[in-house]
Amino acid sequence: MVTGERHRGGGEHDPLPGQRPEPGHSAPSPPPASGETGLPGLPGLPGPADPAGRAWARFGGVDGLGTHGVRRIAVITVGMALLMGVLVWLYGTSVTSLRPRDLPILTVGPAPAATALADQISRVEPGALTVRTVPTVAAADRALRERDAYAAIVIGGNGLTLRVASAASPAVTEALTRGIRVFMPGLEIPVVDVVANAPRDQAGGGLAAGYLPLTLVITAAGVLLARMVGSRVIRLAGLAALAVLSGFAGAVALQGALDVLPGEFLTTMAVVTLLALAVAGPVLGLGAVAGVPGLVAAVLVLVAGAALSAAASAPEMLPRPWGDIGQFAPPGAGATLLRSTAYFDGAGGGRPVLVLAGWFVVGLGLAVVGRPVRPQEGRIRIRVTSGPSVPARRGGIRA
């Protein structure tokens, strides 16, 4: 006796061998090879039942290779290439275009002679130096210690003397020393360093080299907090812990390990802590308000700010207005504040403190009013709802 058996899941009887399928029905697909599974209707492609299939589904399957995926890849790759070019140009320009621009210096001596020397220096390269006169050496040294000037040319009975504060900027001191010897060839002009840079870092490169990764690592830590911690309260607690630990580690590295920064350890730690709050705070805040686009914007601002920080030179050495703009970003304000507290008893540090505090307050406000971020928010998940393919048995008719 011959009986027909209907396959599970519904459907008509399979045709007998040699029999054409009925109109409106298609012949069954051949089963996959032994040990192979496939997506229904797509033999040979891994299905969700096996590990390869799960990986394929997570990648996006066939739909992941569509127009939307290609467009997304194009935007990411082209955008990152353009961004790389802009940042390379920005960082390179901050080095190759260094020259004095309205750099404040002093002339010291009797009024007629000091004024004549100031006029003569100003005409050498218009726009490079801003020269003013003071009557005494004591007044000049006070201006150097208060960061009102980078150097002073003193007219004395034995000729000229150049008084500098290399701690304000070793690069500026070198440029001025070289420039005055070119301007007055044949004269032996002694140089007196009123506020000298750290003996282990006379060229200033150690502080600049250590400061850049400090700011970038704090930025990266802020991104990790924003993406991996979901609770608003825990994220804010993490920000506080990050700031304190970064302050301690930064002070140990700059003062203990590298010995490129003098001054009180706790003062340096406080400055780096404030810097960490001003850097990581906006990252958390923009991440809470705008998600991934906010994080990208915050990172770009901080990376560009690091290029314009003038940590290795001085704001007056960068092209206008980039030097001034850099001082209103956390990296530039932090570098200025570190030098002010380490070498100048805080002179010139008022504006950097306000800048850093302002960035922190804005970031904290955004983090408080922004929505809590789920740790895995933003990850694309594609769920395949069809079950594993079950190969149809050959011979739907049995005796």
* 103-196, CATH topology level: D-Maltodextrin-Binding Protein; domain 2 (3.40.190)
From CA 152, how far away is CA 164, in angstroms rounded?
A: 6
260 DSSP 8-state letter: -
Per the DSSP assignment, residues forming a β-bridge with 398 are: 3
pLDDT attached to residue 202? 85
**Domain locations in the chain?**
45-96, 103-196, 202-369
pLDDT attached to residue 51? 56
Report which secondary-structure segment, H or E, holds 358.
Answer: helix 350-369
pLDDT attached to residue 59? 47
pLDDT attached to residue 71? 86
Pair 148, 293: CB distance under 8 Å: no
User: Is 0.85 surpassed by the pTM of this model?
Assistant: no
From CA 359, how far away is CA 66, in angstroms rounded?
A: 42
pLDDT attached to residue 316? 94
Per the DSSP assignment, residues forming a β-bridge with 163 are: 152, 192
Report which secondary-structure segment, H or E, holds 272.
Answer: helix 265-307
> At which residue do the structure tokens 């290439």 appear?
81
Residues of the chain where predicted confidence (pLDDT) is lower than 50: 1-13, 33-39, 41-42, 45, 48, 56, 59, 61-64, 376-382, 384, 390, 395-399
The beta-carbon contacts of 31-35 under 8 Å, at least 24 apart in sequence, are 31/391, 31/392, 31/394, 32/389, 32/391
> At which residue do the structure tokens 């218009």 appear?
126
